[in-house]
Amino acid sequence: MNMNYNFRKIVSVAFLAIAGCGISLAQQSDLGSNATLDDLINYALRNKIEIKQAQIDKEIGEREIASALSGWFPQINANGSIAHSMQLPTTNFNGTNVALGQRNTSALTFQADQALISPQLFQASKAAKYVRQQNNLNEESTKINTVVDVSKAYYDILTSEEQIKIINENILRLERQHTEANARYEVGLVDKTDFKRAQISLNNAKADLKTASENRKYKYDYMKMLLAIPNNQPLSLSFANQSMESSILLDTTELLQIAHRVEFKQLENLKDIQRLNTQYQKWNYLPKVSAYANYALNYRNNKFSDLYTDNFPGSSIGLTLSLPIFTGTKRIQEIKKSELQEERISLDLQNLENQISTEYSAAMAGYRANMNEWRNSKDNMELSEEVYNTIKLQYDAGVKTYLELMTAETDLKTSQLNYLNSLYVVLSSKLDIQKALGTVEIN
């Protein structure tokens, strides 16, 4: 029986372990294999740490709002006391000193207060929507930066993958040329120079491949960091039907709308909050009015053991009024300070408008310049391919030297890599313009 029990226990534990492992794998594969750019963006918007922190900040803001507005609810308190008088106070009555009170006293008081007029609560009620708007804008800003960063990282990885393909193709060409040079040397057509040059070029190409592979590894790790994925977890990306050339075009006639920028909205929201703070300082001239009701249990006796045998209750209801009359000009200074802070934020808005305009101008100039560089690189790449193919045929026919062939091959590889780099720069510039315009889609 014990053996059967142990066996069932082992099977149960193993089942739970397998199930847990399955859950873990399911969590790890939430992104899926061969993830596209849209998959990466959606995953990052759900899992990036900064976005989760912004969402927690929103929840914290809701708690702060609820805490501030809780002052409109009745505030109920209980206070208790117990005291023993070492000496009773006395008074003179008809020439005789008479002790007042009893040596042992105790009281338990319940009181409810209800705020009716409160400048602080008025401000809290009006500020709630601005606090929510501020937290929403902070989350939106984080999401915009996430979309831009993930997109750039994806295109950077795609560029690296294409670079590695070009280098591998270059290595295949160099290996064939190395073999041909060796064969020509063995039959006595050429000396060792061509063979050694081929070997040097092949070694350099393999070193370039190693460097590009290491850079690609870092770029994948950077992408994992953006996605909040552990470094030891594999990341598989899909580049199928992903043409970088088809993604570089942009409507350069679209006008800049500064009000669409999330940074401008954040600063306007801050100005609204500061304006409300100025109003609050003015509201401080208003009286504070609240209603109250209390009920008290009072016990007193000279003998401590009989203290709670008799109760002398009391209760009352009423209103309290607090009206500030003179506070040493503090309220006036606070109002002036808040108005100056409003003026300062207005200047910040003007400065931000200038910064955004300059940022947009720089992004647009960079995009146009990079587009021109990309077109030039594309033309050079096509020309380099034609030159290489021509010289290769001439070299095979014995017209051109091996040095000329190697020069053409180097030019081809350089033009191909320059083309890829310029293409990535154009895509990055396009994202910078979209960010400057405030048109980055985060949904």
* Predicted local confidence at residue 190, as pLDDT: 67
Tokens of 156: 């950077």
**352 contact partners, CB below 8 Å, separation of at least 6:** 263, 264, 267
Cβ proximity of 286 and 117 under 8 Å: yes
Question: Which amino acid is it at 220?
Answer: Y
* Predicted local confidence at residue 272, as pLDDT: 95
* Predicted local confidence at residue 3, as pLDDT: 37
Q: Which residues pair with 35 in a beta bridge?
A: 237
**428 contact partners, CB below 8 Å, separation of at least 6:** 152, 155
Cβ proximity of 262 and 439 under 8 Å: no
* Predicted local confidence at residue 145, as pLDDT: 94
Locate all alpha helices (DSSP H) within 312-401, ordered by sequence. Answer: 330-396
Question: Which amino acid is it at 308?
Answer: Y
Of the candidates 298, 299, 303, the one whose C-alpha atom is nearest the C-alpha of residue 314 is: 298
User: 252, exposed or middle or buried, with CB in 10 Å at 0-12, 13-18, 19+?
Assistant: exposed
Give the Cα separation of 96 and 394 in Å (integer): 137
Of the candidates 245, 251, 258, the one whose C-alpha atom is nearest the C-alpha of residue 368 is: 251
* Predicted local confidence at residue 78, as pLDDT: 96
* Predicted local confidence at residue 28, as pLDDT: 44
74-116+289-322 carries CATH number 2.20.200.10: yes
Give the number of other CB atoms < 10 A from CB of residue 264.
19
- How confident is the model over 339-387, as pLDDT tens digits? 999 999 999 999 999 999 999 999 999 999 999 999 999 999 999 999 9
Give the Cα separation of 233 and 25 in Å (integer): 10
The CATH code for residues 31-72+118-287+328-437 is 1.20.1600.10
| Regions in the chain scoring below 70 on pLDDT | 1-30, 32, 188-191, 241-243, 443
Give the number of other CB atoms < 10 A from CB of residue 436.
21
Strands (E), 86-211: 90-93, 96-99, 104-117
DSSP 8-state class, residue 87: S
Instruction: Give, in degrees to the nearest 5, the angle at Cα 387 between 382 and 391.
Output: 150
Give the Cα separation of 58 and 46 in Å (integer): 15
Question: Which amino acid is it at 58?
Answer: K
Sort strands 96-99 and 75-84 into parallel, antiparallel or unpaired.
unpaired
Instruction: Give, in degrees to the nearest 5, the angle at Cα 298 between 295 and 302.
Output: 180
Of the candidates 252, 258, 440, the one whose C-alpha atom is nearest the C-alpha of residue 364 is: 252
Where do the structural domains in the chain lie, given as residue ranges? 31-72+118-287+328-437, 74-116+289-322
Phi then psi dihedrals of residue 86, to 5 deg: -70, -35
Domains 31-72+118-287+328-437 and 74-116+289-322 share a fold: no
Q: What is the pTM of this model?
A: 0.80
Tokens of 320: 């309290």
